[in-house]
Structure 1
Amino acid sequence: GRAVVINEQLSRRAALHVGHTLALGPGLSLPVAGVVGDYGNPIGQAIVGEALFRRTFPAIEPSRYGVRTGNPQGLRRALTEAFDVPPARIIDQAAIKAFSLSVFERTFSVTDALNVLTLAVAAFAILMSLLTLAAMRLPQMAPVWAMGTTQRRLAGLEILRTVLLAAITAVLALPLGLALAWVLLAIVNVEAFGWRLPMYLFPVEYIRLMLFALAAALLAALWPAWRLSRMEPTGLLRIFANER
């Protein structure tokens, strides 16, 4: 009866924060005691005590009730028989929760399948890109081979170059991805829905992801390097002659 709690949507839209005063009705203004996250709710809401609500709005009669029970089916039958409540107006929250969790489980299964597909496509793209780069770099390596560097050493240098390129890309991509996530959570989501999800950092997962990226780049570079180490000298000579 001395304060009001508002959700994040109302706080952002009305620029209300803890300590500000909110007018709830004629002659009733209360300070804001807290702002709560209300994910998924599209409207702004304010919460006051039940006694204050009854005194302030005596003409409003409650039409929805929440009842805790260990026998939902028995309660449903009792309400239907004793008070003639239509079954469609009785909602079993536990059943809804169980159904929602089953939907989420199926969603996660689909997400896992899509992750595997995405990683497979990315691996194929990395392999094709490295093969293309290796073919483009042959004219640059032919003179080095002609100066006396062995093909095995050239292949090792190509692997090292690929791994370093992947490491630099990962180091640059990580802060870019974090910045993009912050923009989506703190700006886009707030403008679209009025509420903001918290952003958490997982350094161990980032390190693991970078290691996976380096391993993928290493595996993708092995084939071009093996082809370079096994290439006939006549092939390198033709490339060297054509480039000259």
Structure 2
Amino acid sequence: MRKFSPVTVCFFLCSFLFCACGLETLYYLDEPRVKHRPEIGEDIQRNYFEFQTGNNSEYEGSGSEFTLYGTEIYYMIFANEFDCESSSSSIQNSNSSSDVSAAANYIINTKKYMPLVSQENSDRPIVKGNDVSVRINLHKISDDILQGIYFNGNSYHPRRFYTNGTRMLGFEFNKDKNTDDNPLPQKSNEDVYWPDASTHSDGEWFIDVWAFTSGRDNSYTPSYSRAVNLGKIKIRESYFD
């Protein structure tokens, strides 16, 4: 009877497992590229987000085993600057070279950020296509620069994922003292981070915004690109008096 060495047995066993189980197919998604990233404390004229979507044209077409959704945009409202900066830093630290989806999963499942939606467009995500230039004004910046999500020649009104019944809510908090469409954020809102131990900067709100490419394979397993911070802004209620 022929005998096999332990090394040979190990080789055949590993080969069997490799063939039987196969390897999970990994899909690399090109991430968005930031063109303008606002920071807290800057002039209101710079309170906008601008980026270019990734180029993932290899996944387009009916023959692809991967379905490309588009570019997801997620945000969270904070009651003070410290919590906003701290949360953003923790997400940045979760970006991993070995798992490019780590930060996006962290944003969705751990930090519980919410997807940005619009008044006119019910698509999720809102932005689709490759190498698309996108600009987002969450609020009116001047008489000539109004709130909007702008891309491909279209404009949509940005809205919070949180709704008040059937009414979609905006980011121009307490505008004209009318709280129907733009109410002040509340602790109970799912898109607001305001723990009991945190203080609130009176009349000021802070928003952290991230973007990443998303899609799924034929087994409906989601994949994400590396998450990119689009920036952080401060919104004063006095902007809309």
Q: Bigger relative contact order, structure 1 or 2, given CA contacts below 8 A and separation 6+?
A: 2
Which one has a larger percent strand, Structure 1 or Structure 2? Answer: 2
Query: Could you say which TM-score interval applies, normalised by the shorter chain?
Result: under 0.3
For the pair shown, the structure with the greater C-alpha radius of gyration is 1
